[in-house]
Amino acid sequence: MPAKPDVSIIVVNWKSVAFLRKCLRTIHANIRGVAFEVIVVDNASGDNCQEMVDTEFPSVQCIQSDRNLGFARANNLGFQSSAGRNLLFLNPDTEVLGPAVERMSRLLDENPKAGIVGPKLLNSDGSVQTSCIRSFPSLMNEVLDAELLRQTFPHSRLWGSKALVTDESGPVAVDAVSGASLMMRRQVFEQVSLFTTSYFMYAEDVDLCFKARKAGWATLFLPGATIVHHGGQSTRAHDDGNFADVVLRESRLRFFQNCRGAFYASGYRVAIAVVALVRLALLGALMILGSREHRNSAGRAFRKWLRIMRWSTGMESWARQLGQAGNQPGPTQAGATQPFVVS
């Protein structure tokens, strides 16, 4: 471990030890030209994470938490043990490709106005992950957020992902980049008081970019740096009863409360209730009139939006406790499984 690394790489693990192993291998195989350290924070996974890290990657520091701290608190904990002038927050289900880390670090070092930089994220099949850049949440883009609209109007400022469908090769200023792979100046991270811990997951990266923007720093997307993000592996493996869909809306609500005020946040809750009612009506009709295949898919979507509707009317009260003093849902709360930290 270098005495003064250029980059401190912080990885938060929760039940993703197989992905973490591959992630650490690609870090050590591909990073050249910058001094780096790696800090793994394990969120009480119970998957022998620390044993694997200590045995196979002795140069990596592993911090074992006795409880699931969530994404924000765990990354803040890892930061306390770091020394790099640049910080790379990296999900365990990622793979570093080529000189991605060097290119991001160089961009921060050479651009005095840049506070945050994110790479182009690729799905497991090599396609571009559209969530790697995004606009700041608003009532408009939350209400209109539908895959059909995104595909029909890919250049719209509502989504903030125009740079993904153009031929840009150099850095592009964007609203926010994904927390699955986000590099940031240490001084900026300290200036904005680290990750906001009132979220449990899903909004921390957008909140961080928003705070950096308010402090006068730019967030840049660097398409010439690529990292594979297998994306939501813990979510798919451990989610139960649309837990993630509820948490996502709760996190958006808290973003609006923190960044746009209580009135705006109240408007968001009402807007989501209206959207849920409309979707439930359309899905209900499809379940009655559609083909068997359509009825099955409509049924799954109906259950999702029914739970979102319940959240918007305050019936999923457990969600309000997430992020408060490190609270997390247990298996008996609203059918939720233990939470996960993979964005």
Do residues 269 and 46 make contact, with C-beta atoms less than 8 angstroms apart?
Answer: no
Arithmetic mean of pLDDT, 70-88: 96
Ranges 116-125, 197-206, 235-244, 334-343, most confident: 116-125
pLDDT reported for residue 10: 98
Chain-centroid distance of CA 67 in Å reads 20
Arithmetic mean of pLDDT, 181-190: 98
Q: What is the pTM of this model?
A: 0.88
CA-CA distance, 150 to 156, in Å (whole number)?
8
Query: Cβ atoms within 10 A of the Cβ of 291, count?
Result: 10
Residue 251 C-beta-side C-alpha neighbours within 13 Å: 24
Give the chain's domains with CATH numbers. 7-235 (3.90.550.10), 240-326 (no CATH)
CA-CA distance, 316 to 272, in Å (whole number)?
14
Arithmetic mean of pLDDT, 269-293: 92
Does the pLDDT of residue 335 top 70, yes or no? no
Mean of pLDDT over the chain: 89
Does the pLDDT of residue 232 top 70, yes or no? no
Do residues 222 and 297 make contact, with C-beta atoms less than 8 angstroms apart?
Answer: no
CA-CA distance, 306 to 225, in Å (whole number)?
40
Side chain identity, residue 106: R
CA-CA distance, 155 to 150, in Å (whole number)?
9
Which residue do the tokens 């938490």 mark? 65
How do strand 114-122 and strand 181-185 relate by DSSP bridges? Answer: antiparallel
pLDDT reported for residue 332: 29
Arithmetic mean of pLDDT, 261-284: 96
- H or E stretch at 39: strand 36-43
Does the pLDDT of residue 187 top 70, yes or no? yes
Does the pLDDT of residue 20 top 60, yes or no? yes
Does the pLDDT of residue 245 top 80, yes or no? yes
pLDDT reported for residue 242: 80
pLDDT reported for residue 191: 98
Which residue do the tokens 């921060």 mark? 108
pLDDT tens digits, 211-222: 999 999 999 999
CA-CA distance, 8 to 82, in Å (whole number)?
6
pLDDT reported for residue 230: 95
- H or E stretch at 115: strand 114-122
Range of lowest pLDDT (55-64, 72-81, 117-126, 143-152): 143-152
Taken as a whole, the chain contains a residue count of 343
pLDDT band at 334 (very low <50, low <70, confident <90, very high): very low
Q: What would the two tokens of residue 90 be? A: 């990296």
Does the pLDDT of residue 37 top 90, yes or no? yes
φ, ψ (nearest 5 deg) of residue 224: -75, -5
pLDDT reported for residue 167: 75
pLDDT reported for residue 95: 98
